[in-house]
Amino acid sequence: MAARKRCLPSANGAQDAPLPARKQQIRGSGERHVAALILARGGSKGIHLKNIKTLAGVPLISWALRAAADSDMFHSVWVSTDHDEIEKVAKSWGAKVHRRSPEVSRDSSTSLETIQEFVRLNPEVDVICNIQATSPCLHPFHVKEAVEMITLQGYDSVFSVVRRHQFRWQEVKKGSGELTKPLNLDPTNRPRRQDWNGELCENGSLYFTTRDILKEGLLQGGKVGYYEMLPEYSVDIDVDIDWPVAEQRVLRYGYFGRVTPEVVRLMFCNVSGCLTEGRIFLSVSGEEMVSINTRDTVGVRMLQKEEVEVVLLMSTEDPVTQKLVDQLSERTGCKVILVGEEPLNDLKAIVEQRKLEWKDVAYMGNDKADVNCLNLAGLSAVPENAPTVAINAAKYTCHALGGMGAVREFAEHILLQREKAKSQMKQDRIDCGNK
């Protein structure tokens, strides 16, 4: 369901890896350079290093970066930060980094000051789209529609709002003897929710504006428009108590990348480090053994029940490979194949044989060798204890460890995304039928 857009009266009375963005603007071509800018200071007081704390499997800032990149609306995507670790995460997701000065990195520094510094140092940018790192339920279609209000509809600044149905009362100081007063209702004629349009409140997800408006010292000025987002997408994180609530909301309403989960029919899963904990046990007689968690095998069966084929991967360098292949196949009902140092080389043919694309494939790995497959797969995951190089490549990082329920967790994640997609398709059909 598309969000709604409305016009407000005028305020003055009238990387490393490239992002999938539009072509770079050529100055003088007549096309304005549109840049996404995410502010991510390292000195957050509410939650330490909040902007790169893991939320629903990926660093918080990554949700905004993914939505920005996949909107295909920007000539460049930037993160403004003063912190080395935030810079590393930003670059791992393909963003450019603006190292902000100490003058705009203080607790008292405002977003406006930080954006103005960025604009001064990047004169090629004409439209600045400030996307908040703390709004993880933003989708590419939100970004696209809001940008087009400036680039196609002639607005000078656009910000996001959500509709609230809350009655507000005037605050009074305790012990003052003053009486409170209603601010937005008549107590003698309280409206029912369905009879009241509610009020529009900034939800903090995005603030888009032009260079000229920023020169006037404003974020919202000129011809101002608002972009209304539905409540389920209006998530903000300020303090610790917001985190678990936001995580549940993101799992249901967040954007997980360019994938259509309802057609995922194939999942590749690395045995060592994912289905097992990566350890080898030696008996007194010298026999080599590994352990498999029953929660993970149940997760595999959950996928198979929903007609998702699960293929288990074992390295040719694994010392217990030959002994495990037959047993794993028998216990899980999965095909087990041997892969070399670069699993992608062995898996391309399987994907092609099933007439699938990588965006329709799920992949679970746990190390550097899996990076290419983790990047390509539409849905990808690693256990919580995977090395950083694998975590940065995956679209989801499990809370569970390898061999301790991580496969089950990823299976549930895949099925949840399928249900989300089916619900959206159903809603789209309803919306089309009502037009």
Active site residues: 190
Instruction: Tell me the Ramachandran region of residue 7: left when phi exceeds 0, alpha when psi lies from -120 to 50, beta otherwise.
Output: beta
Count CB atoms within 10 A of the CB of residue 161: 21
**CA dihedral of 41, 47, 49, 55, whole degrees rounded to 10:** -110
Distance CA 325, CA 315 (A): 11
Q: What is the CA radius of gyration of the chain?
A: 25
Q: Which two tokens stand for residue 378?
A: 């539409």
Query: Among residues 163, 162, 180, which one has the least CA distance to residue 171?
Result: 180
The 8-class DSSP code of residue 394 comes to -
Distance CA 377, CA 370 (A): 11
- Residues shown for the chain: 435
- List % helix, strand, coil for the chain (3-state, nearest 5): 40, 20, 40
The stretches of 263-358 forming alpha helices (DSSP H) are 294-305, 321-332, 343-353
What backbone phi and psi angles, to 5 degrees, belong to 258? -75, 85
Type and span of the H or E element at 409? helix 406-434
Type and span of the H or E element at 142? helix 140-151
Query: Among residues 351, 265, 259, which one has the least CA distance to residue 308?
Result: 265
Instruction: Indicate the angle between helix axes 406-434 and 242-253, nearest 10 degrees.
Output: 60
Q: Are 118 and 128 in contact (CB under 8 A)?
A: yes
Count CB atoms within 10 A of the CB of residue 97: 17
Distance CA 292, CA 324 (A): 11
Q: Are 337 and 309 in contact (CB under 8 A)?
A: no
